[in-house]
Amino acid sequence: MRNLSVVTEFILLGIPHTEDLESMLFVLFLGFYIFTLLGNLLILLAIVSSTRLHTPMYFFLCQLSVCDIFFPSVSSPKMLFYLSGNSRVISYAGCASQLFFYHFLGCTECFLYTVMAYDRFVAICYPLRYTVIMSHRACASLAVGTSFLGCIQATFLTALTFQLPYCGANEVDYFFCDIPVMLKLACADTSALEMVGFISVGLMPLSCFLLILTSYSRIVCSILQIHSAEGRRRAFSTCSAHLTAILLFYMPVVLIYLRPTPSPWLDATVQILNNLVTPMLNPLIYSLRNKEVKSSLRKVLHHLGFLPEPL
């Protein structure tokens, strides 16, 4: 019988098949990370500093920007640390924390996109009752609810993963601790837990996606009934930005967690896009086609000294 010691730390092997590319990846990912933080901070400043943007839609956009600041911060600092030539070791508690906060923020965003779709549904389908339905109390409850449900889901998935015994092998063949790679290291039968995890990870995004689809089906029907061409254009412009962000969020989830045959290199590439690129693009998606946000951003940049005073 082999003498297997209990694992107290793990070694992150990084992105598969990227040996000798550490310096280039460090510069690339550091650039993505900095632009992600700056872009979302600017969106926050633009919304907070403009009273015209103190509406439910922008309140939820603020929450999305906060998530997009912390979401890449779960894995990026450690990844940049070892890409710069430092230790790849991560403690058992650090690994569990990475997994928890990754799924907590990811699930919160998933629920948040659903709430944002509901907000657009009420605004377009019931405009006269919008301020009553989306009151300050309702918005606060929905915002807290997204985080609460995200916490429950993340706690369940983390407990499911780390209640397993880890002994012997401690090399994580990935750039951060996530469920699929951690289950491979467990020295116990994980087939039942893999099925439970697959159902849990798949069911929650699918439910949210169906609710979003329902909201937008009703929205499209209502938009088509708008007689004004300008009104239809504005409604489609607002909704198209949201739909683009939703697709960028959901496609990686499907590719990583719901494919029957995993591919380490493809999973890592898609995960990088999900962790760094999508949060970086969200500020652009929500600001480029929104005159109010662009106007507020110009004022913020002018106040910070990055733009000359408008004529």
Tell me, what's the pLDDT at 211?
Answer: 93
Q: Which residue has the tokens 């938009």?
A: 223
Residues written for the chain = 311
- Angle between helix axes 278-288 and 291-303 (nearest 10 degrees) is 110
Tell me, what's the pLDDT at 1?
Answer: 40
Q: Which amino acid is at 167?
A: C
* Cα–Cα distance, 68 to 283 (Å, whole number): 9
Asked if 208 and 249 touch (Cβ cutoff 8 Å), the reply is: no
DSSP label of 6: B
Q: What is the pLDDT of residues 149-180, one digit of tens each?
A: 999 999 999 998 999 889 878 899 888 998 88
Asked if 14 and 175 touch (Cβ cutoff 8 Å), the reply is: yes
Tell me, what's the pLDDT at 294?
Answer: 81
Give the domains, in start order, of the chain with CATH numbers: 9-304 (1.20.1070.10)
pLDDT tens series, the chain, 311 aa: 445 567 889 999 888 888 788 899 999 999 999 999 999 999 999 899 888 889 999 999 999 999 999 999 999 999 999 999 899 999 999 999 999 999 999 999 999 999 999 999 999 899 899 999 999 999 999 999 999 999 999 999 999 899 988 987 889 988 899 888 898 898 888 887 777 777 777 788 888 989 999 999 898 888 888 777 777 777 777 778 788 888 888 888 777 766 666 677 777 888 888 888 889 888 888 776 677 888 888 887 777 766 666 54
The structure's pTM equals 0.89
